[in-house]
Structure 1
């Protein structure tokens, strides 16, 4: 028997990296997990027993509403919502055009909002729920060349703090997880971008990111998943409206 038997979880961006690790951890505790992403084939390739792929672009309000409605109809109310889908792209201020700014906000901030709002519609019909947003250490501090990304992740933290106040005393908690650099495909893509921009090797570019973590190594997706699983534990009900920092040391 798992601690989450009978619970329906929604994990956006569940096909790779942090989202996949969280989905696998939730399934291991007995949850039925709807995993979403823009590419159905990616989701289908990684889905194991207890994981249910759903193609959904979190930046599209209509897709989110329809997708979550379908998931609820198939597996019941969503009691664990993990708003994980996001993108990480960086440019200095004078090179940040409106298209990039809007795209990052649409996915990282709007997408998080749509996911939580639509999931909550069914959660409120139950007597227990957990909402977890994957923010970032960049949501707690600035970073060079990451104005749009940091702004979106600061926004996520502000939303979560406010939503926890909306439902204070109710059987639902709202928390965010703020990882440093995690060993995921996003880091791999950023390695190439940094190498090209800075004129350094791929190894040197990767080391630039590694050095940003206080313990000087990349965080594993499983470490983030363990934090999410703890927030879903029945004994975590007093952890609400806060940020779990995973950065290898003080930020």
Structure 2
């Protein structure tokens, strides 16, 4: 098969300006998909597009994916640029660490909005075009926090468990429509989120950042953090035409941390 096996497909990726989202965008671009990149950071999006335009056609949309009107506008603009979205990667996400009794309603609601409700909003906009086409790939970037529990991130864990539940429900509902719905669940990955977490742990525990990072790595049988490109490779595999029988799965990309 040609390396550009997604030629003719239109992929929309949220949280696409950096980290895992940027790696996914590059992987899909190399496979030939046209891209709509969504993020709140306009400058970062432009920088990402400059790199990717050598590989494929790129459309940019600055949007808050927790805002229903902004999501609707983003999808209308995407369809006007390249036609209906046939590959949706719900990658936008956020984490904040607090003990449960210090997790106030504002933080709880915010993390559910960013991590879970945004997935609902974007999927609702993408699905009609996929149903018309009779083909589609929805990949939700969840987390190992959607498969197990971690202390001090109860709101984040709840939201990512919700993403996995939504994934499984939609997969059953759409199984005979030519559309697959899967989740990838990264473990500790070399991104800004982890770098910020390491700083937070270091401050809270009095350790150095090196010691805090080593404590995270200790829980990973692989012996290192996951690279964003490794998560992107899993997403790319799920988007292949030959992956039609892979549906409703929550695939851990975590170096063996979760089995």
Alignment TM class, shorter chain as reference: over 0.9
CA distance in 1, matches of 2:12, 2:206: 40
- CA-CA distance at 1:90 after TM superposition: 1.3
Q: Which residue of 1 aligns with 2:112?
A: 105
Q: Does 1:43 align with 2:50?
A: no
Aligned pair count reads 251
- CA-CA distance at 1:246 after TM superposition: 1.0
Q: Does 1:28 align with 2:30?
A: yes
Aligned ranges 1:121-160 → 2 under 5 Å: 121-160=128-167
2:192 to 185, 188, 193: 185
Q: Which residue of 2 aligns with 1:176?
A: 183
CA distance in 2, matches of 1:19, 1:11: 7
**Contact conserved, 1:135 with 1:153, CA < 8 A, in 2?**
yes
- CA-CA distance at 1:61 after TM superposition: 1.0
Q: Does 1:70 align with 2:64?
A: no
**Contact conserved, 2:131 with 2:177, CA < 8 A, in 1?**
no
Q: Which residue of 1 aligns with 2:239?
A: 232
CA distance in 2, matches of 1:98, 1:212: 31
Q: Does 1:7 align with 2:14?
A: no
**Contact conserved, 2:59 with 2:81, CA < 8 A, in 1?**
no
**Contact conserved, 2:188 with 2:225, CA < 8 A, in 1?**
yes
CA distance in 2, matches of 1:194, 1:97: 20
Structure 1 length normalisation: TM-score? 0.97
Q: Which residue of 2 aligns with 1:216?
A: 223
CA offsets 1:73-116 (integer angstroms, 9 cap, x no match): 11101010000000011111111111111110010010111111
**Contact conserved, 1:92 with 1:146, CA < 8 A, in 2?**
yes
Structure 2 length normalisation: TM-score? 0.94
CA distance in 1, matches of 2:92, 2:232: 14
Q: Secondary structure at the match of 2:156?
A: helix
Q: CA RMSD in A?
A: 1.1
CA distance in 2, matches of 1:214, 1:54: 39
CA distance in 1, matches of 2:119, 2:221: 27
Q: Secondary structure at the match of 2:155?
A: helix
Q: Secondary structure at the match of 2:8?
A: coil
- CA-CA distance at 1:208 after TM superposition: 2.4
The 10-residue stretch of structure 1 (219-228 or 52-61) with the greater mean CA deviation from structure 2: 52-61
- CA-CA distance at 1:32 after TM superposition: 0.5
Q: Which residue of 2 aligns with 1:17?
A: 19
CA distance in 2, matches of 1:94, 1:197: 17
Q: Which residue of 1 aligns with 2:251?
A: 244
Unaligned runs of 5+ in 2: none
- CA-CA distance at 1:123 after TM superposition: 1.7
- CA-CA distance at 1:121 after TM superposition: 2.2
